[in-house]
Amino acid sequence: MAKLTKLPRAIMFDLDGTIAHTIPQLSKAAIAAADECGLVHPSEEKVKEFVGNGINMLLARVIKGEFEVEIEEVSPLLLKKLRESFNTHYQKGLSSDFEVYDGVKECLIFCRECGIKTAIVTNKPEVFAKPLISFMGLSAYFDFILGGEVLKERKPDPRPINYTLEKLQVKNTEALMCGDSDNDIIAANNAFVSSVFFTFGYNRSDEKTLKYDYRFDSYSEFTSLLKELKNIK
């Protein structure tokens, strides 16, 4: 983990809260599933608090109505029923209720022009992540997409990052991980990969505790950094 002295060979991005604002579509699916299962449904603000550790954890939090919960604390049958309902509603809603952040496409185009490999490393299941990226019109700009249920481990475990770098055939010292939450930054640190923290996403922890290498309020700032690195001889 260190400041870069040249362009990275690979840049990995989180999805929700990093590439796009997706809480509205997640919220709609969670609320519809909760209603269908006779549960008190969460507000959109609550869903924002609950995301980040995979769909099952999100739904376990919906069942309990609070953030601090273990999967083992909820009924497996109820969780299964809620997950099936969520999957149906969310799959139907993937094409709408999201907003790609300003500057994302321009950043990805610049990466393509510079020969930088790009990937998505998300805790969102791949069955949702891949079509969502397609609906966003960004599939052509990513060399690899890793969803949250491909591996046993999820961020903040470093394995998803290491696995992605293996697929891209890039060393951790030549890579960068971009995210909006503690899960992303901790995973990057654990994988010994330089990190970018975006302030506009869904981070729940105290930012002061995050040990990132770069902090940006917009993609234009991030792309400016990449352009500066390109000009270093």
Which residues have a catalytic role annotated?
14
* Cα–Cα distance for residue pair 164/11, rounded to 1 Å: 10
Strands 214-216 and 194-198: parallel
Please, which residues bridge with residue 209 across strands? none
Contacting residues for 135 by C-beta, under 8 A, at least 6 apart: 94, 95, 98
At residue 178, φ and ψ (nearest 5 deg) are: -110, 130
Token pair of 72 as six digits: 């083992």
At residue 150, φ and ψ (nearest 5 deg) are: -80, -40
* Cα–Cα distance for residue pair 35/175, rounded to 1 Å: 43
Cis amide prior to 156 (ω within 30 degrees) = yes
